[in-house]
Amino acid sequence: MVKILLPILFISLSLYSVGQVKKERFPSYFGIQVRPVFPTRFIGESSASFLKDGFSTTITQKAGYSFGGTVRAGLTKLIALETGINFTERNFDIDMAVADSNIFASNDLSFIQYDIPLNALIYVQLSEQFFMNASLGVALNFKPSDVGVLTLPGGSFSFTHAGRVNSLATVDLNANFGFEYRTEKSGFFYIGGSARVPFSPLFTLVSQYKYQGFKTTIYGDVDGSFLSIDFKYFFPNISKRGPQFQRGPIL
């Protein structure tokens, strides 16, 4: 976990440093975020079933998690650019069966990826310290490797399930909505929600059933859409250059 977290924080801090200019009018802020991710049928398919030669496989997305660093660079009093880098793990249940053989089994599969969101963010000030904001943009994803599991239900039967990555780099549509409480000395506290809609499958599931000399293989795409609850904390900007606490356009 530490080996994963340190590169994320390093890259995010580098992005934050780039956003700092000598005489910035609208300051940049660095923060961290944690979010549980959930499957949904509102913007995608949370499960998929495949069948061939009496062999069936159903893969169902479960809750996962994501964490990373985030950078917010102010462009105007109303608009900011938000980016960063995140580690995301999504989990799946796999149920398999062979018709008329009384062979049933289940297993689980985890899939990880890294993403860099690029969002345009708009503020709406509700009071002196409470803000509502919404953002829309894309997320650039990197999928480092394929994944797979082997299931042995007993006897000579075996099931193999592999998540094959079709492209190491993909793009998702990313939308966010939330509220934040701003303090001058303690930083910003944010809670909100996100929706992620991929433009391509998360991976292709390759399911294989073997019994003695018999073998059947099924292929099917798995959707990667999800909803999440986002928790963010932005550190106070201690830089002495430019204004340190943006009160928003109506104050």
Residue 218 domain-assigned (yes or no): yes
Residue 250 domain-assigned (yes or no): no
Per-residue model confidence (pLDDT) at position 102: 83
What domain range is 189 assigned to? 2-234
Under the banding of pLDDT at 50, 70 and 90, the label for residue 247 is low
Establish how many alpha carbons lie within 13 A of residue 64's alpha carbon, considering only the half-sphere containing its beta carbon.
24
Contact 61, 46 (CB under 8 A): yes
Taking only the tens place, the pLDDT of each residue in 70-117 is 999 989 888 999 999 999 999 999 999 998 788 889 999 999 999 999
CATH number at residue 17: 2.40.160.20
Domains of the chain: total: 1
Residue 243 domain-assigned (yes or no): no
Taking only the tens place, the pLDDT of each residue in 172-216 is 999 999 999 999 899 999 999 999 999 999 999 999 999 888 899
Residue 140 domain-assigned (yes or no): yes
Residue 20 domain-assigned (yes or no): yes
> pTM to 2 decimals?
0.81
Residue 47 domain-assigned (yes or no): yes
Residue 217 pLDDT exceeds 50: yes
Residue 185 domain-assigned (yes or no): yes
Residue 245 domain-assigned (yes or no): no
Per-residue model confidence (pLDDT) at position 249: 46
Per-residue model confidence (pLDDT) at position 237: 77
Per-residue model confidence (pLDDT) at position 214: 87
Amino acid at 178: G
